[in-house]
Amino acid sequence: MNVLVTGGAGFVGSHLVDALVEAGHRVRVLDNLDAQVHGEGAKRPAHLHPDAELQVGDIRDRSAVALALEDIDQVFHQAAAVGVGQSMYQMEQYVSVNSVGAAVLLEEIVARRDRIQKMIVASSMSIYGEGAYQTPEGESVFPGLRPDSALEAQRFEMHDDDGRELKPIPTPEEKPLLPTSIYAITKRDHEEMFLAVGAAYGIPAVALRYFNIYGPRQSLSNPYTGVMAIFSSRIMNRHRPMIFEDGLQSRDFVHVSDIVQANLLAMGKEEANGKVFNVGTGRSISVLRIAEILGEQLDFPDPPDVVGKYRAGDIRHCFADTSRIEKELGYAAKMTLEEGMRNLLEWIRTQKADDRVDQAARELEDRGLTR
């Protein structure tokens, strides 16, 4: 098939491109080579598969999108401005790139609806807000954000109205969506726009809710990217990783190879059409433990800097219920955290990174987004 991958020169996109080319598809990439991700004056990345066609252009540029869609059969929409904290003070930029960009792409897809066979869009676990929890009686509950009064008192765990601590459990796709950042709102836009347009025009669409992705090619100089890359950049520059709250907040870290696996399954299975799927491992680990492992593996003896402050909109726990994608698409996370981190660290040791975390932290603090 002829396949378009928007954002295909980036972290997830380039790995997806590799797999598609290796499967025999003809792949075109539309990517603006954003400076925050690729560096100033970036040209075609060395990691982009040589058999992939690269078209440099903005997802909001209708002529660029129209050109990229020529003779295309399937579309993977990976392009997005990524950064939860940054989105809260660059609101117009994030809405423009993500929501408006998706609208431009969809309009051009609809104009070619007789040719386009399927579209798969990258969504995000951030649209859930807090994850799912369980009461002491075993009832599943979906709480909103923790009150500032509790966070100011450094009561970071989630409690019910009676003050009893709630137990985090896997978050299913049915959980009500409570996005707590502009970025998360635009990712909700992505999946709802693609599914709505797909249903209206008879174009099969699939939304994949990625959990916390890590692996080679993640930008180490972008302070708004994934936590493993951020921590690695700090450690490589011999700085202590900065951790908010007490570090015991937990996430589901999924290797990029399993994200690719999910995309290929969504591409090939009709059972995926019109649906949303979590893509994670179903297992959680604390942010503090991730920082400790990276420090141990990169021979950095200093402990993480657990600052005790909290960021507006931060959640405590969220990890994936993967039963739907396992049952309906045959997905199973293949990369263990131990293997995945070894894979990441092998690549990290060959890289250089600019540590811009302090600058990003100041920008959040200056705007009152950390407390």
Quick one: tokens of 301? 């003896």
Catalytic residue among 94, 128, 133, 183: 183
Residue 349: CB atoms within 10 A of its CB come to 11
Q: Where are the domains of the chain?
A: 2-366
The predicted-structure confidence for 330-364, as pLDDT tens digits, reads as follows 999 999 999 999 999 999 999 988 888 888 889 99
Cβ–Cβ < 8 Å for 343, 335: yes
Quick one: tokens of 89? 């003070």
Distances 261 to 17, 52, 72, 204, 208 between C-alpha atoms, Å:
12, 19, 21, 19, 11
The predicted-structure confidence for 242-273, as pLDDT tens digits, reads as follows 999 999 999 999 999 999 999 999 999 999 99
The predicted-structure confidence for 75-101, as pLDDT tens digits, reads as follows 999 999 999 999 999 999 999 999 999
Is residue 201 flagged as an active site residue? no
Q: Which amino acid is it at 53? A: E
Q: Half-sphere exposure of residue 128, counting CA atoms within 13 Å on the CB side?
A: 29
CA distance 129 to 132: 10
CA distance 207 to 11: 18
* DSSP characters over 222-251: -TTS-HHHHHHHHHHTT-PPEE-TTS--EE
Give yes or no for residue 203 having a pLDDT over 90: yes
b/e sequence 206-233, b meaning 16+ C-beta within 10 Å: bbbbbbbbbbbbbbbbbbbbbbbbbbbb
The predicted-structure confidence for 268-303, as pLDDT tens digits, reads as follows 999 999 999 999 999 999 999 999 999 999 999 999
Q: Taking the domain 2-366, which CATH number applies?
A: 3.40.50.720
Taking the whole predicted model, whether its pTM rises above 0.85 is answered as yes
CA distance 314 to 287: 13
CA distance 344 to 351: 11
